[in-house]
């Protein structure tokens, strides 16, 4: 089977309310792209949905062989769904886009134009973010800027999500990266190649609820930082120095009190403050060390990144490769 020129990767998790509109928008966009690309495919990755998402995707794929569906055996998470799509996408250019239609599919046309101009990565940068709370916008802005500061030499784009086009060379490179705790947009930055930013206006979610509540965002931020930075480990040194300086200052003050002011009863509050400072520094760093050790533990088990339950509209080669990976 000839390789398609364009592949779309769309992670799906409980999106039954969005799928009909997603299908309509996809058909419109792909019809306009027929003059720009010779052939295309859409790889839907069902991330263990509990609603009717998978059955709806199977119905769509029954009438359109270029719609391919990969279903996980359970929920493995958004980043693993993107990873599975990258593993299966056959296109010369691959676009990653979420199903909620916040990232407009119509932008893909401009991404393809820049890819043809020689760029290996074209990533979308959100100019505006409709339908999001002030708290969401504030935490997102803080996350990207703190992450860039902590990563030093890695210039991860600010206000850019996973919506992007990557070339075949980038796809093949990403397939060789098998770490379990994945931050795909950071990995794309890390591999290098020629990259370009594309500004767009992010729309409000078409229907349904966000799949990234605050708790998931916190775990995502932790994966992003610990996957690409050792600066949290250096906090141990900094906190140790600060604790040492604080302890030295307290010791000098205690000696002064004893020798010159002859206050022999006072000091309980100072001791408690010193103990609290030292204990808090130790607990913070035990937690940081635990995060890194936990990730080492997950990596050395060498389990597969995800488990496929069913493949729809993939050829026999894809099925054989999938079975061999289990």
3-state class of 198 per DSSP? Answer: strand
Whether residue 119 sits in one domain with residue 21:
yes
Whether residue 195 sits in one domain with residue 123:
yes
Residue 223 lies in a domain: no
Residue 149 lies in a domain: yes
Whether residue 238 sits in one domain with residue 99:
no
Whether residue 192 sits in one domain with residue 62:
yes
Q: Identify the pLDDT of residue 320.
A: 47
Which residue has 């999001």 as its token pair? 132
Residue 249 lies in a domain: yes
Q: Identify the pLDDT of residue 94.
A: 93
Q: Identify the pLDDT of residue 9.
A: 92
Residue 224 lies in a domain: no
Domain CATH number, residue 100 = 3.90.550.10
Tokens, residue 275: 């103990």
Whether residue 243 sits in one domain with residue 313:
no
Tokens, residue 95: 């676009």
Tokens, residue 119: 């760029």
Whether residue 118 sits in one domain with residue 267:
no
Whether residue 15 sits in one domain with residue 103:
yes
Q: Identify the pLDDT of residue 128.
A: 75
Whether residue 47 sits in one domain with residue 176:
yes
Q: Identify the pLDDT of residue 130.
A: 66
Domain range enclosing 269: 231-300
Q: Identify the pLDDT of residue 326.
A: 43
Q: Identify the pLDDT of residue 324.
A: 41
* pLDDT block averages, 10 residues each, the chain of length 326: 84 88 88 83 90 89 89 88 90 90 87 91 80 64 64 66 88 86 81 86 62 61 62 64 65 64 58 64 69 69 75 68 46
Domain count, the chain: 2
Whether residue 139 sits in one domain with residue 16:
yes
Residue 269 lies in a domain: yes
Q: Identify the pLDDT of residue 325.
A: 45
Whether residue 115 sits in one domain with residue 25:
yes
Which residue has 């100072």 as its token pair? 270
Whether residue 269 sits in one domain with residue 128:
no
Whether residue 134 sits in one domain with residue 166:
yes
CA–CA separation, 103 and 130 (whole Å): 11
DSSP string, 83-106: HHHHHH---SEEEE--TTSSS-GG
Sheet holding 160-167, edge to edge: 195-202, 121-129, 160-167, 93-96, 6-12, 40-46, 67-72, 308-312
Neighbours of 323 (CB within 10 A): 10
């Amino acid at each position: 089977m000839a390789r398609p020129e364009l592949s779309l990767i769309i992670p799906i998790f409980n999106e039954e309310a969005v799928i009909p509109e997603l299908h309509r928008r996809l058909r419109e966009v792909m019809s306009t792209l027929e003059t720009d690309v010779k052939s295309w495919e859409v790889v839907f990755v069902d991330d263990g949905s509990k609603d009717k998402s998978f059955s709806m995707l199977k119905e769509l794929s029954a009438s359109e062989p270029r719609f391919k569906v990969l279903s996980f055996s359970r929920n493995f998470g958004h980043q693993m769904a993107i990873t599975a799509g990258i593993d299966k996408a056959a296109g010369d250019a691959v676009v990653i886009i979420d199903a909620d239609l916040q990232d407009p599919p119509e932008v893909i046309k401009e991404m393809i134009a820049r890819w043809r101009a020689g760029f290996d990565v074209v990533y979308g940068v959100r100019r505006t973010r409709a339908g999001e709370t002030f708290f969401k916008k504030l935490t997102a802005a803080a996350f990207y800027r703190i992450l860039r500061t902590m990563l030093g030499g890695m210039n991860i784009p600010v206000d850019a999500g996973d919506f992007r086009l990557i070339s075949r060379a980038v796809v093949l490179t990403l397939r060789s990266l098998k770490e379990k705790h994945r931050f795909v947009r950071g990995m794309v930055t890390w591999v290098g190649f020629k990259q370009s930013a594309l500004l767009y206006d992010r729309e409000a979610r078409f229907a349904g609820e966000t799949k990234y509540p605050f708790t998931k965002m916190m775990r995502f931020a932790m994966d992003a930082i610990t996957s690409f930075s050792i600066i949290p480990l250096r906090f141990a040194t900094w906190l140790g120095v600060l604790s040492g300086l604080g302890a030295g200052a307290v010791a000098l003050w205690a000696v002064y009190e004893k020798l010159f002011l002859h206050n022999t009863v006072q000091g309980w509050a100072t001791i408690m403050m010193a103990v609290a400072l030292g204990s808090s520094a130790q607990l913070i760093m035990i937690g940081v060390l635990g995060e890194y050790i936990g990730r080492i533990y997950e990596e050395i088990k060498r389990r597969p990144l995800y488990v496929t339950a069913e493949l729809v509209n993939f050829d026999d080669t894809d099925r054989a490769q999938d079975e061999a990976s289990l």
